[in-house]
């Protein structure tokens, strides 16, 4: 997988996963949140009598009730808004490809490129990286040191995500991280720096694998001509 294709996937995912909830709603969302019916103007009235078999050879008369519905006007313009706009429709294949991924890869992509701050996604990302880092922990590691390492995982996630979305971002220096953890720079270099480097490398690998899997699923649903055109444009 070339770096150009990965960057292409990053750009498309940033467009597809953006939160447009603050913009004007389409018809489907408007109908879902505010059903276009008002039942308060007309009370429920019996309109006719229905004869039903009571199961004992007799007939039972039942008054059927119906709700008189007053339908409100749902638009104030001549042409209504489409159920889904062109921008969201174009990003649907990418969102569908993301939904095929494992949950932890979905969590990373939605956080890194969709700027989704759901707490469940954050904890899931940290748990996956920490579980994979267990084999690198030395024996006899102090609990205090282990807790500090756990606190570094989410900071590493933020650091890697920032480098993906901001070309001018400057990564945390070792001295700054030592001050944040209230330890000496020498202690940071000797104890924590190797783990910090491994955390960032693990997030880099998670990012690359998630993007590769997304591209694989995205290309599966595209015709060969469209796929070839996209790949050519991405490699230019």
Tell whether 56 and 100 lie within a shared domain. Answer: no
| Same domain membership, residue 122 and residue 43 | no
| Mean pLDDT, rounded, for 159-177 | 89
Question: Is 231 found in the same domain as 176?
Answer: yes
Q: How far apart are CA 124 and CA 141, in angstroms?
A: 24
What confidence score (pLDDT) does residue 196 get?
Answer: 93
Whether residues 171 and 61 fall in one domain: no
In this structure, the answer to whether residues 102 and 7 fall within a common structural domain is: yes
Considering the domain architecture, whether residues 7 and 61 belong to the same structural domain is answered as: no
225: pLDDT strictly greater than 50: no
Given a contact cutoff of 8 angstroms between Cβ atoms, the answer to whether 111 and 125 are in contact is: yes
Rounded CA-CA distance 28/32 in Å is: 6
Inside any domain, residue 26: no
Q: Is the pLDDT of residue 121 over 50?
A: yes
What is the mean pLDDT of the segment spanning 65-91? 66
Q: Is residue 164 part of a domain?
A: yes
Query: Does residue 162 carry a pLDDT above 80?
Result: yes
Phi-psi group of 115: left, alpha or beta (phi > 0 → left; psi -120 to 50 → alpha; rest → beta): left
Least confident of 76-80, 159-163, 217-221: 76-80
Query: Within this chain, do residues 137 and 165 fall inside the same structural domain, yes or no?
Result: yes
Same domain flag for 101 and 212: yes
b/e code 132-153 from CB counts within 10 Å (16+ = b): ebeeeeeeeeeeebeebbeebb
CA-to-CA separations, 102 to 98, 105, 174, 228, in angstroms, rounded: 9, 5, 33, 26
Domains of the chain: total: 2
pTM: 0.68
Res 130: pLDDT: 93
Domain, as residue range, for 54: 39-66
Residue 72 belongs to a domain = no
Task: Please return the burial class of 177, using the count of CB atoms within 10 Å of its CB with bins 0-12, 13-18 and 19+.
Answer: buried
> Regarding predicted confidence, which is higher, 53 or 1?
53
Whether residues 57 and 145 fall in one domain: no
Mean residue pLDDT of the chain comes to 80
The verdict on 123 and 56 lying in the same domain is: no
């Amino acid at each position: 997988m070339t770096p150009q294709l990965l960057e292409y996937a990053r750009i498309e995912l940033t467009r597809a996963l953006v939160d447009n909830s603050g913009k004007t709603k389409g018809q489907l969302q408007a109908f879902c949140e505010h059903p276009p019916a008002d039942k308060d103007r007309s009370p429920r009235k019996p309109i006719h009598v229905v004869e039903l078999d009571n199961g004992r050879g007799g007939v039972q008369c039942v008054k059927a009730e119906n709700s008189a519905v007053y339908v409100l006007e749902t638009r104030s313009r001549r042409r209504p808004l489409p159920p889904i706009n062109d921008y969201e429709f174009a990003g649907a294949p990418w969102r569908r490809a993301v939904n095929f991924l494992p949950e932890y890869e979905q969590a990373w992509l939605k956080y890194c490129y969709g700027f989704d701050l759901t707490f469940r996604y954050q904890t899931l990302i940290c748990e996956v990286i920490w579980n994979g880092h267990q084999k690198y922990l030395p024996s006899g590691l102090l609990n205090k040191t282990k807790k500090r390492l756990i606190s570094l995982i989410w900071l590493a996630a933020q650091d890697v995500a920032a480098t993906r979305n901001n070309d001018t971002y400057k990564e945390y220096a070792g001295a700054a991280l030592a001050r944040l953890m209230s330890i000496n720079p020498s202690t940071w270099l000797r104890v924590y720096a190797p783990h910090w480097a491994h955390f960032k490398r693990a997030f880099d690998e998670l990012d690359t694998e998630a993007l590769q899997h997304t591209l694989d699923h995205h290309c599966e649903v595209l015709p060969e001509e469209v796929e070839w055109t996209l790949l050519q444009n991405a490699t230019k």
